A and B are shown apart, each in its own frame.
Chain A
Amino acid sequence: MREQSKYIKDIRTVSYYSGYITLVTSMLMLIPILTSLLSAEYNVVLDFVISITIALSTGIILIIFGQRASKKLEWKHGLIVASLSWVILMILCAIPYYLSGNTNSFLDAAFDVMSGFTTTGLVLTQNLDHLSLGLNMWRHMLTFVGGQGMVVLALTFLVKDTVGAYKMYVGEGKDIELVPNVKNTAKIIWTISMVYLTIGTLILWIDGMLIGLKPDSSLSHGLFIFMSTWSTGGFAPMSQNILYYHSFSYEIITLILFIIGSLNFGLHYAVWQGKKKEVLKNIEVQSFFITVTLTAFFIVLSLSKLSVYPNAVALFRKGVYSLLSAHTTTGVGTLYARQFALEWGDFSVLMLIIAMLIGGSACSTAGGFKGLRVGVVFKGIIADIRKMLGSERRIKIYKFHYIKDQVLEDGMVKSAAFIIICYMILFTIGTALGTYYGYPALSAAFEAASVTGNVGLSIGITTPTMPSLMKIYYIIAMYLGRLEFISVFVLIGFIFGGVKRLCLRYSRH
């Protein structure tokens, strides 16, 4: 009986904080409402008014339900709040998509929202070139906010008690405290993003006008493309993505933005504090540099051998751009999806799959199993080999630099290897599912890597007509990949615990 009451108390605590996060994120719908009003899209305003009413009501009900509970967060609460909030918000934020009539089903709408939140960038929304400005604003805002994290957003504005806040922050797949207080850490993350939002949008706006877009159109495109590239998202206002602009300058600007966006917020903060050498010493940057250079080398070599592109500049704009887009898990493209399958050859596609799985930096907007883990596991292997070769009496300590000098411990290597294994299992199941539905193995692997690493490049599998089971699996893969498994595992364990208690209770009666 006491256990039962503790479980209810846990549910109330989780409900209270999930309600707050839902409330804050729902308030963001005011921005597309304002955008739609300004552009006289009154039907869209109505869609968002209905959606915000449902979302705010849900948030308030959750808060009221949890109001009497203890506000002190334990580790399990923090992790469950983070993972559960993402599911609740996926459903609520999909309402305006569904009401717009641009998705075939609510599942498609939920897919696009999860794709936005996780900064993946795969799209099932139809008629993309004629979407309302309000809905376009919503799509790109979701990916921008998802990149920094909804918990990070809520921490910035609402939670006064920071005692347990760190536990929710970790639950969202981030673990770096830039300053001792997690609320201020969240504020710094937003400051960095907002500074780049201003600079990036301004540059893209000017460049957009130079390449022939009208000033107002150039501004909205600049803002949307910034939000997408900085968050390593992959959405774009036009169905042709970056290819629509046919501009080398636009490509270079987006390239710079998504590479910077894929870097660790801790690294940004260190550089902004004048610690410029951090860029060269950081294990994650070193790992990123090596893996990008190697995969780019092989892709350029392979595409040159196949004579896919007429000259070196075209090769850079298509080949290297796509590779960087894949490796930073951005997913914006200068190619049509089927070109990967029809023109690139198996080897280049394989290189892209590897790049997508590795991904960007930890505690950034990027996905994948992250350069930090690759670096730590690699250093761990080197350390083990050296230990075997060296004298048994000598104990040597191995170090690496990641914001500060850190000792390489076995636990770190094991935990990094565990997450990499989880990613590989997720990727393998996704590939098997694709082949089960009749897609070629390499194409299925490409799409599975894209969802697992939260990339967003597609080889043509992700369409509204794909099987529903694959859509559901891809949603789960994007979600698990983004939150890095642990918090979702805790949520599943919590739900199963509740079900088990219920079953026991009924069996006793």
Chain B
Amino acid sequence: MLDYKKIIKGVFSEITYVGVFIVILYAVNMVIAR
């Protein structure tokens, strides 16, 4: 089952992955729009 440490680490990992994905899309957008 899940404990607090696992939950915090899990949420942090997911936000990081999605954050990186958004940065990639932002970079693609900046390159094309230029």
Hey, which bits of chain A sit against chain B, CB under 8 A?
A: 188, 191, 195-196, 199, 252, 255-256, 259-260, 263, 268, 271-274, 276, 279, 289, 292-293, 296-297, 300-301, 304, 311-312, 315-316, 319-320, 324
- Per-residue A-contact encoding for B1-34, CB less than 8 Å = 1, 0 else: 0100011011101110111011011101110111
Find A274's partner among B6, B17, B26 (CB 8 Å cutoff). B6
Point out the residue from A196, A252, A268, A316 that lies within 8 Å of B29, measured CB to CB.
A316
Measured in the bound complex, the distance between the Cα atoms of B7 and A37 in whole Å is: 35
Complex CA–CA separation, A263 to B30 (angstroms): 26
* Residue contact A260 to B33, C-beta cutoff 8 Å: no
Kindly list 12 other residue pairs between chains A and B, CB separation below 8 angstroms, not including A191-B2, A256-B19: A263-B14, A268-B10, A272-B2, A272-B9, A274-B10, A296-B29, A300-B28, A304-B33, A312-B30, A312-B33, A316-B29, A319-B29
Question: What B residues does A276 contact at CB under 8 A?
Answer: 13
| Bound Cα distance from A259 to B6, whole angstroms | 21
What residues of chain B lie closer than 8 Å to A304, measured between beta carbons? 32-33
**Interface pair B33/A188, CB less than 8 Å apart:** no
- Residues of chain A with a CB closer than 8 A to B21's CB: 259, 289
Q: Which residues of A contact B19 (CB under 8 A)?
A: 256
Complex interface: chain B residues within 8 A of A293 (CB): 24-25, 28
- Chain B residue nearest in CB terms to A304: B33
Q: What are 5 inter-chain pairs, A to B, with CB distance below 8 A?
A: A196-B11, A272-B10, A296-B28, A296-B29, A300-B29
A196 to B11, CA, bound (A): 8
Q: Is the CB of A320 within 8 A of B25?
A: yes
Whole-angstrom CA separation of A301 from B32 in the bound complex: 6
Majority-rule SS of B interface residues: helix
* Contact A188 to B32, CB < 8 A, known contacts A256-B22, A272-B10, A279-B17: no
CB–CB A271/B29 < 8 A: no
Q: Once bound together, how far apart are the Cα atoms of A259 and B14, in whole Å?
A: 10
Q: Give Cα distance in the complex from A268 to B17, angstroms.
A: 12
Q: Bound complex: CA of A27 vs CA of B31, how far in Å?
A: 52
A343 to chain B, nearest CB (A): 16
CA gap between A195 and B18 in the complex, in Å: 17
**Does A292 lie within 8 Å of B25, measured CB to CB?**
yes
Tell me, in angstroms, the Cα distance from A276 to B16 when the chains sit together.
11
Tell me, in angstroms, the Cα distance from A66 to B6 when the chains sit together. Answer: 43
- In the complex, chain A residues whose CB is within 8 Å of the CB of B28: 293, 296-297, 300
Interfacial chain B residues near A252, Cβ < 8 Å: 22
Give A398 Cβ to nearest chain B Cβ, in Å. 27
Contacts of A188 in B (CB 8 A): 2
Bound complex: CA A405 to CA B19 (Å): 27
* B7, B24, B25, most chain A CB atoms within 10 A: B25
With A and B bound together, what is the CA distance between A276 and B17 in angstroms? Answer: 10
Chain B neighbourhood of A271, CB < 8 A: 10, 13-14
How far is it, in angstroms, between the C-alpha of A199 and the C-alpha of B2 when the chains are bound?
17
Name the distance in Å between B22's Cβ and chain A's nearest Cβ: 6
Verify B29–A260 contact, CB threshold 8 A: no
- Contact partner, A296, options B10, B11, B15, B25, Cβ 8 Å: B25
Tell me the complex Cα distance, A271–B15, Å: 11
- B25: chain A residues at CB < 8 Å are 292-293, 296, 316, 320, 324
Q: Considering the complex, give the chain B residue whose CB is closest to the CB of A317.
A: B29
Report how far A48 CA is from B25 CA in the complex, Å. Answer: 44
- Between A252, A259, A304, A319, the greatest number of chain B beta carbons within 10 A of the residue's beta carbon is seen for A259
Contact of A195 among B7, B9, B17, B30 (CB under 8 A): B7
Residue among B18, B26, B29 making CB contact with A256, cutoff 8 Å: B18
- Inter-subunit contact A315/B2 (CB<8 Å): no
Cα distance A202–B34 in the bound complex, in angstroms: 36
- State whether A195 touches B29 (Cβ < 8 A): no
In the docked arrangement, what's the CA distance between A105 and B34, Å? 49
Q: For A199, A271, A320, which residue has the most chain B Cβ atoms within 10 angstroms?
A: A271
Q: Report the bound CA distance from A293 to B11 in whole Å.
A: 24
Cα-based distance from A324 to B29 in the complex (angstroms): 13
Chain A CB within 10 Å, residue with most, of B2, B13, B21: B21
Minimum CB–CB distance for B19 against chain A, Å:
7
| B26-A268 in contact (CB<8A) | no
Determine how close the nearest CB of chain A comes to the CB of B1; give it in whole angstroms.
8
- Chain A contacts for B10, CB-based, 8 A: 268, 271-274
Q: How distant is the Cα of A160 from the Cα of B26 in the complex, in angstroms?
A: 48
* Residues of chain B contacted by A297 (CB below 8 angstroms): 28, 32
Separation in Å of the B2 CB from the closest CB of chain A? 6
